[in-house]
Structure 1
Amino acid sequence: MDENCRLNAGVCRVDFTDSGKILSVDDDFFRSTGYSLDYVLEKEVSFYSLFEDKAREDIEAQINSAAEVGGVFCVRHNIITRDGSSMFVHCCGIVKNLKCVDIIVSDCNCHDRLDDVYKKLIRKVEEQRDKLHMVAENTDDVYYDYDVKRDIMHLTVSITRFRLDYDNCLENFLGSRAAEEFLHPDDCEAYFDGWKSALERPMKGTMEFRTKAYDDDYCWYSDAFISFADESGKVTEVFGRLSNIQKLKTLTTKSDKDSEYIRFLLQTDQLTGLYNRKGFTQNAANALSERQEGMVYAIVYSDINDFSYVNENFGYETGNTMLRDYTACLRGGASYIMGCRIYSDYFICLCRSKNRAALIRSVEQQNLRFTTMQKKKFPSGDIRIACGMYILPDGDIELNTAIDNANLARRSVKHSSSILCGIYSQRMRMQKIYEQSICNELHSAIKNRQIEMFLQPKFHLEKRVIIGAEALARWRNPNGTYKMPFEFIPVLEKVGYIDELDFFIYGEVLRTLEKWKHDGRSIIPVSVNFSQHHITQPKFVENIIKTADKYDVDKGDVEIEITESCFSGDTQALFSVMDKLRSVGFKVSIDDFGIGYSTLSVLMNAPVDIVKIDKSFIDNIEQNKNDRDFVANMCSLIDTAKKDIIFEGVETDAQAAILCQSGYTKAQGWLFDKAMPLDDFEQKYMYNNVDK
């Protein structure tokens, strides 16, 4: 506090049982009155003697009255100071024991100083108001001061539609609901509710509303206010600032629209306008949470057969047009709710109909419409839809599981031209569980050597002596039986785990050849199969060579078999792989030749050493002359290309005799021997002969 405004006050202790004798005084008492402790003790000054005669009776009565109840007394009178001057003081104390009462004596003669301070404060307030008016006049903001008791609103601007007096004041502001005339109808209730809250108690707040009070049309304003209360807590004044936030609202609205558009882009496939996977799963889940009672719902998964052929031969724009055509067919379906393009030509739909039959019929009809449309555009083509449906059960369903089930149904009819829509069954789920178990168990099966290399001998047809072997994979079950290749190899090819299996068998072949060499056996070449999945791997050849270099083997004793299905892809990349393998000494053969993926013209240029003729070509050569002639002609062309030939699946002496008479000398099949474990093979062919 400013020292000029501080009151002088001191304490004296008095014994009122001894004529009000002062027992002690403190320094503040001395400074304010001039009476020191020494003086009052020496002169035995009485507390009553400090006051004029007419005040003494009042003081004595007040003290006696307070003593009766042990209460407080307060008196205000002029005191005679030590220098004889008069000073108006306030005396107070608690009278519990008349023998010892502490009395606080304070100087109350400060009105002049308080007057000066008050005037200074008033000047500061006026200066602040002038500054506020200056700010208001130079900004777009409107400041106001509302007098609650008088219901008068004072504004800092006169440019308004309100009917103000000469001092920019509006009387009966809330009483007449003056603002309602210019408020947007939708904002009136909230506006006056805001004022009601501001008047209930002291508070700070903000409200937003649209008004035409300061503009030609409705504009958004923000009212930031603070309400003040008197000593009783009743609000007496509200001060606030009105800011035009129309531009901010416009930007916010634009931002909201932009955000909505961004959400649309994040959930939508730009080519077709359907949802993408994320958008579909979110919106389909919402739709399924509000199913219509009595309706049947399904997830439909579909793709366009041979779509890559369209892109490669007719261009991507033609492919895009086809995707849009299919989208139109989906949306035109009677059961369609919403759809999604996952990627490329793969689509998912959520469909609904009154019963299962109607649902299936609707999906089949939309697929037929698309097929008919494409037949008109591509008369020589056979563009069809592979489609699978999963009927959703009642109750909650995990959507991704439903999509997987529909996809299983699609894959089950992928290569069927007669089934327009495959329907999911539990058998498909069991098949998938089986496939998952195969994948999950592969690593441990390899580690625990449950995956075994079997060898099937290759024979000279005329001499009936072993000339080589083919390495095959077998999976031993815990009970000693074996899984056959068709039970696990297609699964591993589908998920990409075939790489590990192929290289494991390849390693077994190299280890076996090294062992035979170190044991002094006559080495026979061994062929090992590699899936077409490897051809697209950039380090396939490098890994083949690095693995072989770890063993003491002649690469010429290793025959790399590549299935004919590899020719359905990039033949130039395939030829490059073959060239690299042959350049370092490996033999390369084509397995299962003739099952439909390649042509003789492609074979003529393929850098291979051996062609293995599929057994289907010789199954009927005993009975059918046409089959014999066909095999002879085919092999004649292969001979022309200087490729060695070996026949697979020779099962009878008659087949062997026919092939031998035709000049072909190499074959494998059950006529000679079946595939067998390595130990059995070695005992029978490698360690039980003249070289032992």
Structure 2
Amino acid sequence: MIGMGTRKKDILKRKKTEEELCQQTERYRLMKEINQELAKLLQQGGDVNDSLNYTLERIGMQYQLRLAAVLEYEEENKEQVWTNCWNLEQGILEESRLNCEAFSQTALSKRGTSGKFYCQNREGLFRGSEECSVLFCGRQEAREWTDFEKETLQELARMVSFLVALRIHKREDQKQIMHLKRRDLLTGLYIEEAFKGKVKEELKNWREDREYAIIYTDINDFSYINDNFGHAAGNEILKAFGDLIRRNDNRISCRLYSDLFITFYWDTDRDTILHKIVNTSLAFSRKQKEIYPSCSIRLTTGIYFMEKKDENLDIAIENANLTRKSIKGSNSAFCRVYESKMRSRREEEKQVLAEFQRSLEKGGFQVYVQPKFYLSRFELSGGEALVRWKKRDGRIENPGLFIPILERFGYVVELDFYVYEQVLVYMQSWLEAGKEPPVISVNFSRSHFEREGIYQRIMSLNKAYRIEPKYIEIEITESLFATGYELVKLEVKQLRRAGFRVAIDDFGTGYSSLGMLLDIPVDIVKIDKSFLNRENRENEKEFIQHMGRLIESVKEEVIFEGIETEEQREFLVDCGFRFGQGFLFDRPLPIKVFQEKYMK
């Protein structure tokens, strides 16, 4: 009997062991299938949430559950909420249906009920107080879970928790990516698209007791900073300005590119906004002066006050930019508020730019020459090439109306070389006719030196027309030495080495100093006409004489511009000057008329 009982026990024990092995095999098979399926989904770029729902469904079907669900801790409300759920009747539930009444009855307080198995994840998969809970409910409320089933469900709960952790991390990564996509990497300010979106959101909260402004700002001569102090220094200046305009709560700021910034600002009244803008500008300039004592780093700011909440944001930004451009380069103004007349000027600019290329190709731009004379004997010493625009209606447009526009948009580069080539064409015809050409000077805008310079193209054109450099004088304005200084010096040296004469035009109008002339390799200094328009001539005479001697001591020639009266000519002769130009001698003439009058 004892042997029979022992045998029975051995059989039962063996049977139990076989069942356990079968259960273990089934568990490993299930987990292997789930893992393989998950790996396939994730490798193919599948959604983690879909993988999570798939896992809950597989577990529910395999273990004949009524419910398999995930709850996550919500930091904002300090509670756990349903995030994923599968049930036997409805399958996978969409997120919007997770809090329905049928499942709210499955309260966590009932977790001790035999039909439910509740696993709280506290294994460090989440940071801080974040927690994930997994709930499995059997089909029979009275069901008792075996130790093996509990162990299995704990393993499966860990797998589910891993997927929840992976989903959270992917969401955080996505948030970080979206943040980077919306932000300028250098300054941390919004990029243009994100900025416009935030501004439009804020405009929905428009209040009649507030003023709203678009502020468009750039840093004056920023390229000079990069060229002379390096890009690292330039980046630090950009970051410093970005920090300054991000500090206030009632503003949204954007860096467009380079040193261009836009800010949307709102406050109780316009005076308050203007006061803060001016203070910001002055504070920034003072701070940079402490870091770069030899420079005067200033801002140029255009301001546009919006009139209504549904105003076109792009036009508002353009208006602020127009205002900024209207004072760009000014030595006095650094901030200006938009005026409606600026819009009409903008339309004029568009018309000039639209007509420019056609006029250039059709001969609408005409070259004029203003003669230069020996002051003491009214004898021609050379000429200066100028340009006039003959419009379709026959009007001759003064360069003061179109040159600044073409300079601002870079079109002046082609116009300068058009004038230069026309001068070479006439010089070639004079030489072929056996006539010795006078030295003609041609102006080149600062826009050339914001690109690749002028030397190579000038040399190529002179070679093509077989004109010796001795007949050409290159004029550049003194303002060129505020930006691109090293490139200007290099190109001037190359031009002089090739045989061209080089002149500084408009000397004395803002940037120049006598000390600067020692460092600039030019042949001629043209004195601006403003020196002749001073009232107290006797007191000025000695100063001008000394100035002329100092200039002539380091340069070859001094030429006075804008001589209009005999009194002015006599005054300059008495001071010892030899060359000049102005209406007293002759007005600018079409180059054909100049040829007929002076090339006999």
Q: Do they superpose with TM above 0.5? A: yes
The change in CA–CA distance for 1:131 and 1:287 in structure 2 (over 3 A counts) is: farther
State the partner residue of 1:439.
353
Q: Does residue 448 of structure 1 match 2:375?
A: no
In 2, the alpha carbon distance for the partners of 1:512 and 1:187 equals 87
**Paired residues for 1:374-453 under 5 Å:** 375=286, 378=289, 385-394=299-308, 396-413=310-327, 421-453=335-367
Partner of 1:106: none
Compared CA separation, residues 222 and 563, structure 1 to 2 (3 A): farther
1:134 pairs with 20, 25, 33, which one?
25
Shift of 1:300: 1.7
Normalised by the length of structure 2, the TM-score is: 0.72
1:666 maps to 2:579: yes
Shift of 1:638: 2.1
- The answer for unaligned runs of 5 or more in structure 2 is 1-20, 35-59, 73-78, 99-107, 122-131, 138-155
Structure 1 residues 548-588: Cα deviation after superposition (integer angstroms, max 9, x where no partner): 11214232111111222222234443222122212222222
CA RMSD of aligned residues (A): 4.0
Q: What is the rounded CA distance, in whole Å, between the counterparts of 1:417 and 1:582 in structure 2?
A: 31
8 Å CA contact 2:214–2:262 kept in 1: the answer is yes
Alignment partner of 1:550 out of 464, 468, 475: 464
**Contact 1:180 / 1:188 at 8 angstroms: preserved in 2?**
no
Sort the Cα spacing of 1:507 and 1:319 in 2 relative to 1 into closer, same or farther, 3 A.
closer
Aligned residue in 2 for 1:297: 212
Q: Tell me the CA shift for residue 502 of structure 1.
A: 0.2
CA distance in 2, matches of 1:258, 1:413: 44
Query: Is 1:371 equivalent to 2:282 in the alignment?
Result: yes
Q: 1:471: which partner in 2? A: 385
* Alignment of structure 1 residues 521-670 onto 2, 5 Å: 521-538=435-452, 540-620=454-534, 623-670=536-583
Q: Does 1:485 align with 2:399?
A: yes
Greater displacement, 207-216 / 628-637: 207-216
The question of whether the paired residues in 1 share the 8 Å contact of 2:70 and 2:83 is answered with: no
Q: State the TM-score, normalizing by the size of structure 1.
A: 0.63
Distance 1:659 1:389, change over 3 A: closer
Residue 682 of structure 1: aligned partner? 595
Distance 2:358 2:69 in 1: 82
Judged with a 3 Å threshold, the aligned counterparts in structure 2 of structure 1 residues 662 and 222 are, in CA distance, closer, same or farther, namely: farther
Give the share of equivalent positions with the same residue, in percent. 33
Q: Which runs of 5+ in 1 are unaligned?
A: 1-129, 144-161, 163-167, 199-204, 224-241, 688-692
Q: How far apart, in 2, do the equivalents of 1:457 and 1:189 lie? A: 86
Match in the other structure for 1:195: 88
- From the CA coordinates, give the structure whose radius of gyration is larger: 1
* Cα distance change, pair 406–221 in 1 and its aligned pair in 2 (3 A): farther
Choose the corresponding residue for 2:263, options 337, 340, 349: 349
Aligned to 2:117: 213
Q: Which of residues 272, 275, 278 is equivalent to 1:361?
A: 272
More helix by share: 2
Give the structure 2 partner of residue 62 of structure 1.
none
Q: CA deviation at 1:454?
A: 0.6
Matches within 5 A, 1:169-318: 179=67, 191=85, 194-197=87-90, 213=117, 215-217=119-121, 218-219=132-133, 244-289=159-204, 291-292=206-207, 295-304=210-219
Aligned length: 500
CA contact (8 A) 1:471 1:529 kept: yes
Cα gap change, 1:255 to 1:639, in 2 (>3 Å): same
State the Cα deviation string for residues 364-419 of structure 1 (Å, max 9, x = none): 23532562576488578876653322222335444332212112223334567887
Q: Please give the residue correspondences for 1:116-155 in structure 2 after superposition, counting only pairs within 5 Å.
A: 134-140=25-31
180-189 or 465-474, which deviates more = 180-189
Q: CA distance change for structure 1 residues 206 and 590 in 2, over 3 Å: closer, same or farther?
A: same
Residue 646 of structure 1, CA deviation: 1.9
How far the C-alpha of 1:624 sits from its partner, in A, is 1.4
| 3-state DSSP of counterpart to 2:90 | helix
Q: 2:189 is matched by which residue type in structure 1?
A: L
1-structure distance, mates of 2:193, 2:226: 26
Pairwise CA distance, 1:298: 2.3
The offset of 1:470, in angstroms, is 0.8
Q: 1:331 to 1:576 in 2, by over 3 A?
A: closer
Deviation sequence 1:518-537 (CA, Å, 0-9, x none): 22334211111111222344
- Structure 2 counterpart of 1:626, one-letter code: N
1:214 positional shift: 6.7
Assess if the C-alpha contact under 8 Å between 2:561 and 2:582 holds in 1: yes
Cα deviation 1:438-473 (Å, max 9, x = unaligned): 122111111111100011111122221222111101
